[in-house]
Structure 1
Amino acid sequence: MVFGDLRLHIIRSSNPKSFQQSWIASGRILFLIAASGLGAIGLVVLSALWAGTESDAAALDRQRLLVNARLREQVDQVARVIGQVGNGYIAANRAYPASGSSSASPAFNTVLTTAAGSAVSQTATSVFGYDQAFVVDEHGELVMMADGETEKRYRWMKPLLLPLLREAGAALRQDTTFTAHLPGSPGNPAGSTVPVHRGLASLLRLEGRPTIVGIAAVKEPHERQGQSLWQFLIVVRFLDGAALDELSREQGLNGARFARTADADGDEVAFQIDDTTNGEPIGFIVWRPDLPGSRVIGRLMPALSIAALMMALLFTILLLRLRSSLGELKKSEFHARQLALHDVLTDLPNRAMFAIRFDECLAELENSSERSAIALLDLDRFKTVNDTFGHAAGDELIRMAAGRIRSLLRSRDTLARLGGDEFALLLRDIKDHDQTLPRICEAIVAELSKPFPLLKGEAVARVGCSIGVAIVPDAGRNADDIMRYADAALYEAKVSGRGRWLVYSPSMDGGRNARDILKNELREVLAKLRVSSGGSEPGELFSDRPDFGSLEVYYQPVYRAGKGYSVSGAEALVRWSHSQRGLLTPASFIPAAEEGGLIDALGFWVLREACKAACSWPENTFVAVNVSPSQLRRPNFVEEVSAVLQETGLSPSRLELELTETSLIEDYADIYAVLKSLRSQGVQISLDDFGTGYSCLSHLTRFDIDRIKIDRSFVSLLGTKANGAAIVGAIISLSNSLGISTTAEGVETEYQRDFLAALGCTDLQGYLFSKPIPLHELDCFEKPHSNEKLLATS
């Protein structure tokens, strides 16, 4: 069942170029006649269409310009009005200063209170018609009385409002204002000169809706805790309600509506509304435009259609004979191609076509992180059916089985018949292979275990199937090796009871026993590093230590959440640069290390290298190292950790050991004693992938956990599923209440970063910041400004 050196060379019985030349020669005169008429009518039609299209484009551009201008006017109006409101409050404060104070009056002093802040907010909404208003200080904290719903709503809006608030603060600090003189008042007879500040307004998307947000200062800075603070009024006007209705009436927009995406129907157009702060789209205004050109074309189209129809009819009659000949030739060519690349019995791709598509898949995966899978399938007890009911029943069974399998696959998958009762599946793009593979394979096993009615109901066969799967690139990138691995998994499925599916693991590699080979290779690599994995204790060090060999520790930085996003530490991750298999991730060789008793030696080596590397990092950073359950159960594990810390000189408080929840469940009493001893030395304990396993809350307090790592599967839900924020928020809230730090893994977008920071997550880790990199490329500790890009987008 292995492809070997199979490569396909197809020899066609007819030459396409010869056919094309003969076809043109025989129909040249007919085409000249038809082309003359088609050219004339086509010129008229194209001219009319061009004129109508240009007219429609001009009309549409005019409407879009008017809509854009009106939107800008509304933004400017909000900025102007809120600026006047803010200046009014500042002027009142200057005109009526408080008794005993030169900077505030009793009347305006109430603005500084939360009750007055609420009154300012209510004035903005009730008098000026804004949808929402907030009074905040320079740091974005509410300075007003607000119910729980308003506070919750502001917390969701706050990350999006902070950039505009910073811009307003920057404008004030740069003194981009002019002044006006106020006349005397009872509180200030001499009058005063007050700065007149301009309001700011911007188009944003809040709560999934296009919004005009305005901001203006309502309280000048005063000294508090050694810093000058401004107070600002922030107003919100949504554009998808009354504002859109007003715009529709003014500009004559028929059927105007707001849409998050450009989902305009056939007779509609969409105008994109851009965020004025970063230029990103925040929504679309969709309406039915007035298109004068289309009306003209509609009136001319009947006559043009009749003329075109007559010419097409004549053209069709002239080419009937040529079409007949061409059809016969195409049928012949298609039949030849089918015979060369398809199975005659099932009309599925054959072995040759499967090899071609597999090679294409491997080529696409060369520069991609996507995964695919090869599955080999055999029908169980097929020979019995064939011998009992005859070859006709066997052929019918093959066709029915192929149909059932094909109905369960996706459009991008390939099902091929290799011969006999053997099938092959190519499953492309299985990002969530842990879910996709079980779903597809279990469905196939279940479907093929159902009865097959054969010979028009005269016989019923029950067969079932066995499936062997190899995942690419986990199993390598060589087609022959991958097919061999899938064949080994198929053999294992058959000998273990049939009617099941198995994913290839090195122990299944037939007589060669690839897992034993992998274990031996890893043992040799560790031996080169002078860390014993055989007769001596795994933690024993040798004096004549050579180079690192093929093992290398990669590091993924961890960043503190919040302003600045400074580096707080890094997680150590082992990689194996295999001479034949390429760069292997832990998932590829850790199972072999555990089975071969090498995991303790490997873990000790990673711990030692990580501690040695962390010694050159700043004192306020940590290094996180994964610890296996096997290491925790070692009697002298605590002594080994202490020896590494003493040898490398790393402070125990800078070492963080990451455990899984499974480690805490097994041998509870012994594990508790080990962790207690480590924590007494100052070593930090982290619970990895929290929420994906048993998630026993008692572990957090019983074992004195210092940090919880939120699994990437929960982080990926942020912004995609409603319950994602609730789950992550609950974990962070629980951790904060217990005084436990949190690290969110798998942060890949700015939205996830900002949202997690707003929820109170202490540390962030993911590809948005950095992928795992070798030690010599880790410069985030040496270059303080390496996170400049992160700050620019925060």
Structure 2
Amino acid sequence: MHIVLPSSSNTFQQSWIASGRILFLIAISGLGAIGLVVLSALWAGKESDAAALDRQRQLVNARLREQVDQVAHVIGQFGNGYLARVYPASQAAGVSSSLDAVLSAAAGSAISQTAMSAFGYDQAFVVDEKAQLVMLTDAATEKRYRWMRPLFLPLLKDARLTTDQGVVFSERTPSSLESRRASMINLNHALANLMRLEGRPTIVGIVGINDTPQGQRQPARQFLIVVRFLDGAALDELSRQQGLNGARFARTADPDEDEVAFQIDATANGEPIGFIVWRPDLPGSRVIGRLMPALSIAALVIAVLLSVLLVRLRTSLGELKKSELHARQLALHDVLTGLPNRALFAMRFEECLAQMRNSSERSAVALLDLDRFKAVNDTFGHAAGDELIRVAADRIRSVLRPGDTLARLGGDEFAVLLRNIRGDEKILPTICQAIVAELGKPFPLLNGEAVARVGGSIGVTIVPDAGRNADDIMRYADVALYEAKMGGRGQWRVYSSSMDGGRNARDILKNELREVLAIGTASSASRSLPDLNRPDFGSLEVYYQAVHRAEAGFKASGAEALVRWRHSQRGLLTPASFIPAAEEGGLIDALGFWVLREACNAARSWPEDTFVAVNVSPSQLRRPNFAEEVFAVLEEIGLSPSRLELELTESSLIEDNSEIYTVLKSLRSRGVQISLDDFGTGYSCLSHLMRFDIDRIKIDRSFVSMLGTKANGAAIIGAIVALSRNLAISTTAEGVETEYQRDFLAALGCTDLQGYFFSKPVPLHELDCFQPANGAGSPPIASEAIA
């Protein structure tokens, strides 16, 4: 049956599109305005940085020129002062020519030392016209000058030309010392150049120091050469004066990302000497750095607000459009699986019945129920249960025909409508068997962290054989499903008139069990004969399966109590047949205490070094006074608490609440032993072993069965035994069926063994393993023990 949903109106769609366009334009306009502001700020900052950097470079260039001029000015004054005061005094004193060389060298040394000490030059030389030293000096200085001399020659040549062109002969001969001194000051000239010297930026200054006025004897001309390096103290001073952060000299332009380089050119020929590198002060970047966070936040806020507004509007309009579709989907489909729900299934079923009234078509209705689904929910949580429902739905759907209908009625219950099965009698068995097989496979859950084994049961009703009323047909299918579960689950049954057609088949079993429990409890308490006036639904019995020590002789160490129901009409029922009814009817606690009392009473006559193991349900553990009830039973019967072992499933500990922890702590404080059943098959949390102080781990029979066939079995059992040994926890291996398994498990280090190789579950009067002459075991029985 197909459902046609009305589409939205054109006006609604057009208004949605128009609103979206307006919001889009607003968003683009807002973001564009913010972008223009940001770009304007960036442009202004870059322009400010460029201007500041250009200004710094101009200041550096001006400062270098100023230093060159300062050197020329200073040595010019120095030369003038010498000519006016020192050299003329020597001439006036009438120094003989024979002493000229010695006096000249001594005077040159004095001038050099004065230039370096008084004016802070790095080096000073006094030379003649041929650039030969005219001064007293040491060998190192002389050697250093020889390396510099070729670089001084062009500057010395310029200095000689400047001196020659600057000499003006007076028309009259001066008659006094003062007039000669004035003439020499006016005639002296100094030069200074910026050049590379010894690979370093250097200011070299030169000045003539003994030019003679007209009328005087002309001695050999001498020149003072001074050297000031710019990459040392001079650069530091320049950095402080001009605010050049981290200024340094580099021969190549290799500034870092936050540095700039200024090229130094030689004064004479303009050749590059090197680079001054520093971190510039960029006010534009500083301002941008302060404004950008605020601008970015403002842009982000505006963008987010516009985006939220746009999304909200589009979402609201979309929700209005989809609300009707969603409402129809929810009304007719299951939210978890997407399958048709009970309402849609009923509609299709009624349609099928209406079409079949005037035809010979035969169809079938099947009700499916997952076995042990509640245990999965309790063990792994509701998320795993939901995942199990979805995977099971996919598996069932995969084996159905395209025209069949699969619906989820609720919980773990499904319904299948199989149309037109008359043509092939094998269709129904094939589909039902395929569904049972698919549901019997393991279910990996929680991304592979857990594996659930549930299975499924199916009840089928043939239409129209069973009637034409939909309610009756569904009731018959439910009865067939109940029969499938009573038959051991993992089966499918077709309804027949021989089955109990009552609506409350399950309630009947609950009431029968309640009567049986009432009779059994009264008989156990009073030890009297049962009331013959009550209806006879049979009686509950406790079977015992022996547990043997994994050591020489394999002596029995205890036994596990297992409940059975010997029904007066149905025969011997296993727990799988009536435990679900006990759980649904709230009888599980009463059943558990009845088994506990019977088991403790039986163990009272066993040897003192043996124990009895009793299974405890999660609901019993959640009772606040559970520990006191156990102690009351032990005290009444007279059994030592250390001889009682309570077996818990991992689902009992999944909640990990304080109430269960308190109950178990109270039990262990009085000596009651606690064991963890089927370890490794459920939600095995190692913290449970420590938090709840477990005394024994029972290794599941599924691992034991792999011994000798799969290497994984031995590895898993070995790991569990090693863990238990390190934690001082006893281990019992279940499902031992062969001598090889017995010997192998004993060699691995298991403390106890249990299985059909030693004994199957038997009534108390057949339990003879505690007799002194008990053998090592009976031949294996190739079937599975039922707990």
The answer, yes or no, to whether TM exceeds 0.5 is no
Please, what TM-score do these two structures have when normalized by structure 1? 0.39
Please, what TM-score do these two structures have when normalized by structure 2? 0.39
